[in-house]
């Protein structure tokens, strides 16, 4: 048996024992992007770049606007949603998502985030187990690393951001549950209800204060039926 046959036989034995892969392919950890990395990107990207990032990843302006509304105009959450949808759409599954995403970020002048994605070690998803802290995380903070107080301009900007968040999310309600863009302010929602009494001569409007004093043939009825179409405000009257 010549040397080539011996080498081939040894390779077969190694593959059967699991020591050699027939097609190892690229390192999955280096070609994919974890949810923790997507989350960090969403936190570090300025809201002004939301549409730039989304359009670069293949989403239309209308899709991005709908995603933003679904996330109550929270740009960080909306951007995370965009990343998750983009991650699912990548085909084939073994494509180098990390390189593709880095290229997209560089195209819209986010080269710093692109370099970080390619050059820094991959961040795995959290599994709930104990994590190993870096030396810089275990040492007490130095005087240089202490957080500096905010300037008056930064405080004013934070105040404006909080006002915008509350005005755009907390003080609004979706008028149509099936239409995400139907958010309106509380002050624009009102009910102009009218109570009507029907007898042999037709319908007559009655006041709310006379509702409980209503008599039929001179006597208080044992039951009062409030009738109306769905959404007409029957429960609203009783409350």
Q: Which of 11-25, 48-62, 108-122 has the lowest mean pLDDT?
A: 11-25
Q: State whether 182 and 211 are in the same domain.
A: no
Q: State whether 83 and 177 are in the same domain.
A: yes
Q: State whether 78 and 102 are in the same domain.
A: yes
Q: State whether 30 and 88 are in the same domain.
A: yes
Let me know if residue 67 belongs to a domain: yes
Let me know if residue 45 belongs to a domain: yes
Structural domain of 205: 195-238
Q: State whether 90 and 54 are in the same domain.
A: yes
Cα separation, 71 vs 66, in Å, equals 9
Cα separation, 188 vs 59, in Å, equals 32
Give me the CATH number covering residue 55: 1.10.533.10
Q: State whether 120 and 209 are in the same domain.
A: no
Q: State whether 220 and 121 are in the same domain.
A: no
**Average pLDDT across the chain, whole number:** 75
Q: State whether 119 and 220 are in the same domain.
A: no
Q: State whether 200 and 178 are in the same domain.
A: no
**Average pLDDT of span 3-7:** 54
Q: Output 72 or 126, whichever has higher pLDDT.
A: 72
**Angle value at C-alpha 103, between 98 and 39, nearest 5 degrees:** 50
Backbone angles phi and psi of 197, in degrees to 5: -110, 130
Let me know if residue 134 belongs to a domain: no
Q: Please tell me the pTM assigned to this model.
A: 0.44
| 214 within 8 A of 206, measured Cβ to Cβ | yes
pLDDT tens digits, 89-111: 886 655 788 889 999 999 999 99
Q: State whether 180 and 205 are in the same domain.
A: no
pLDDT tens digits, 203-214: 878 776 676 777
Q: State whether 89 and 176 are in the same domain.
A: yes
For tokens 């105040």, the residue is: 159
| Contacting residues for 171 by C-beta, under 8 A, at least 6 apart | 185, 186
Let me know if residue 231 belongs to a domain: yes
Domain count, the chain: 2
Let me know if residue 163 belongs to a domain: no
pLDDT tens digits, 135-193: 444 455 555 555 678 788 888 888 888 777 776 666 677 777 777 677 777 667 666 66
């Amino acid at each position: 048996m010549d040397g080539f046959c011996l080498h081939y036989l040894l390779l077969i034995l190694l593959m059967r024992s699991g020591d050699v892969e027939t097609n190892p392919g690229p390192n999955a950890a280096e070609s994919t992007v974890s949810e923790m990395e997507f989350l960090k990107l969403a936190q570090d990207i300025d809201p002004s770049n939301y549409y730039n990032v989304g359009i670069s990843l293949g989403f239309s302006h209308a899709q991005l606007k709908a995603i933003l509304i679904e996330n109550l105009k929270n740009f960080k959450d909306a951007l995370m949603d965009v990343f998750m949808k983009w991650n699912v759409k990548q085909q084939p599954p073994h494509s180098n998502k990390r390189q593709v995403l880095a290229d997209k970020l560089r195209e819209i002048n986010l080269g710093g985030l692109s370099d970080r994605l390619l050059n820094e070690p991959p961040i795995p998803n959290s599994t709930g187990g104990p994590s190993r802290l870096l030396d810089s995380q275990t040492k007490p903070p130095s005087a240089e690393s202490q957080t500096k107080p905010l300037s008056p301009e930064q405080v004013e900007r934070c105040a404006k951001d909080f006002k915008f968040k509350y005005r755009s999310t907390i003080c609004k309600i979706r008028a149509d549950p099936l239409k995400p863009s139907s958010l309106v302010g509380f002050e624009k929602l009102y009910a102009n209800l009218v109570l009507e009494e029907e007898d042999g001569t037709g319908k007559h409007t009655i006041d709310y204060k006379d509702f409980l004093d209503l008599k039929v043939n001179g006597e208080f009825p044992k039951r009062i039926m409030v009738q109306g179409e769905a959404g007409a405000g029957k429960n609203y009257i009783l409350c």
